Amino acid sequence: MMEEVMQRIVMVVEFDGSVFHGWQRQNNAVTVQAMLEDVLLRIEGRAVTTFAAGRTDTGVHAEALPVHCDVSAARWNRSHLAYLHGCNHLLPDSIRIVGVRAVADDFHARFDCRGRAYRYQIWNRNTASAIQQWRHWWMPRGLDVTLMQQAGTFCLGRQDFSALRAAGCQAPHATRTVTRLDIKQDGHCITVDVAADGFLYHMVRNLVGNLVAAGLGKQTPDEFKLLLQGCDRSKGAATAPAHGLYFVDAQYETFTSQALIGSC
């Protein structure tokens, strides 16, 4: 019997993290990976293993998380739409495949990724939102965005981010290069957009926790600079909650996951 020819593809996944226990498959928990792999099993008629550019915790959302897997080359060549509309027809409304393309056989969504970008959203109003409660971190006290921006500048460039590293982080070192950090306010919503060559476990949420401390006047920008230089996580502010965080982009040599949205 001839071995089936396979085609490696990358799927761009959007999901509402409020109803999942993160990306990675777990026993006795509903996860995005498990839902997607169960749908691919129905389409392919065999078990399919998926690999994402990064793992997301319970409650974290994604706009454009790239995921690679190997599928039937014959089915792919016959109809790419089986992996776009076909998957979406079988997936719950909280998960959508928003782009798909063929890639080289040695492509890896995680190890070939050259940069990742996240967005964190804060709802800065004295009352919580009835319709945005799982989309933002509600902060009832007024935040000084200028102070947050001043503190954020100290994150740019290549440095040791041990002060923003969670205790359970398994990375061999804490040195990362932050290439962009933008903090903007639009009405009651404050967004923190950050891009880097890689992130440590809870790095963005710990960063936001400290930026909010600066915005509340609990920590000056210079004190945040000293915190980073001291590399001591125990002296930092509390970790921001997961539900305000979004995985928004991944950069590869020839494309980004955001650029693949709408492709097939």
* Structural domain for 160, as ranges: 115-249
Pair 245, 166 in one domain: yes
Q: Across the chain, what does the average pLDDT equal? A: 96
Number of separate domains in the chain: 2
pLDDT at 56: 92
Pair 133, 93 in one domain: no
Pair 94, 122 in one domain: no
Tally DSSP H helices, then E strands, for the chain: 6, 10
DSSP string, 73-94: HHHHHH-GGGGTHHHHHHS-TT
CB-CB neighbours of 3 under 10 Å? 5
How far is the C-alpha of 261 from the C-alpha of 69, rounded, in Å?
A: 17
155 within domain boundaries: yes
pTM as predicted: 0.95
Structure tokens that stand for 114 in this block: 């050259």
Pair 93, 185 in one domain: no
How far is the C-alpha of 250 from the C-alpha of 260, rounded, in Å?
A: 10
1 within domain boundaries: no
Higher pLDDT, 85 or 167: 85
Active site residues: 57
Pair 149, 168 in one domain: yes
Pair 142, 76 in one domain: no
Among 214, 235, 39, 12, CA closest to 109: 12
Pair 137, 244 in one domain: yes
Q: pLDDT-derived band of residue 186, with 50, 70 and 90 as boundaries? A: very high
Among 137, 128, 6, CA closest to 74: 6
pLDDT digits (tens, 9 = 90+) for 110-166: 999 999 999 999 999 999 999 888 899 999 999 999 999 999 999 999 999 999 999
264 within domain boundaries: no
Pair 160, 232 in one domain: yes
pLDDT at 132: 82
